[in-house]
Amino acid sequence: MRGPRCGTLLGVIAAAVLFPRDVAAQLPVSITPAIGVYLPVTSTIKVSDGTSAKQTTALAIGARIALKASVLFGLEGSVFYTGSDVDATNGATGGDASLLLFSLRGIYYLTPPVLPARFYLAAGGALVVRDGDFYEGFNGTSDLGGNVAVGLRAGLGSVGVRIEVEDYVYPVNLKSAGGFETGSRLQNDLVGSLALSIPFGP
């Protein structure tokens, strides 16, 4: 299951890197490849007898495309892929799994552009898509929610280095063909990342 998803992500990253320069030259656009760690905070499934199932901490890779609206504001879209399996307790069975995490958000810089390092906040919408053997018997594996983040961007010549921690907050309600239903559970998935921001526009 991971092969197609990973291929999709690599295609997205390749498309970002090959973003047409004649279009980008007209816009203050930056492309940001990123690598980090996916850290789930809450259990995806938790039932009354104490049995639970939770994603595992795993490597996350992704890319962002940002449009600078002003020296303080910007708009950014991102995608991350993580091959995070599911661990279960009380003798229940986990399994192979992966996630795609999408976000579209606004960015506000807290410090002026004259400084070599700039702190920023970000917030917006998110889409989380679950895949893999563990989720084959479930409906409701795609969830809409929110994304909030705090980060630091430091200049390094013509490019920038970004360190960020972001939180994907969303409700999940998995339903199996056998009638099992998790009920709506609020999820918190953290991603800490290190990225290289490459400008393509003015």
Mean pLDDT of 27-54: 87
Task: Record the pTM.
Answer: 0.82
Q: What angle do CA 84, 86, 87 make, to 5 degrees?
A: 125
Domain positions in the chain? 2-199
Q: Is residue 82 within 8 Å of residue 38, measured between CB atoms?
A: yes
According to the model, what pLDDT value does residue 46 have?
81
Residue 134 is given by DSSP the state G
Q: Is residue 86 within 8 Å of residue 58, measured between CB atoms?
A: no
Among 2-6, 46-50, 82-86, 171-175, name the most confident range: 82-86
For the chain, give the mean pLDDT: 84
Q: Is it the case that residue 27 has pLDDT exceeding 70?
A: no
Q: Is it the case that residue 25 has pLDDT exceeding 60?
A: no
Residues counted in the chain: 202
Mean pLDDT of 169-193: 86
Closest of 20, 66, 29 to residue 199, by C-alpha: 29
Q: Between 125 and 53, whose confidence is greater?
A: 125
Q: Is it the case that residue 11 has pLDDT exceeding 60?
A: no
Q: Is it the case that residue 2 has pLDDT exceeding 70?
A: no
Q: Is it the case that residue 4 has pLDDT exceeding 60?
A: no
d(CA 104, CA 114): 27
57-112 pLDDT, tens digit each:
999 999 999 988 888 999 999 999 999 999 888 767 778 999 999 999 999 999 88
* Architecture (CATH level 2) of domain 2-199: Beta Barrel (2.40)
How far apart, in Å, are the Cα atoms of 141 and each of 71, 92, 187? 38, 19, 13
Q: Is it the case that residue 16 has pLDDT exceeding 70?
A: no
107-127 pLDDT, tens digit each:
999 988 888 899 999 999 999
According to the model, what pLDDT value does residue 110 have?
93
Residue 67 is given by DSSP the state E
According to the model, what pLDDT value does residue 36 have?
97
Q: Where does the pLDDT of residue 174 fall: very low under 50, low under 70, confident under 90, or very high at 90 and above?
A: confident
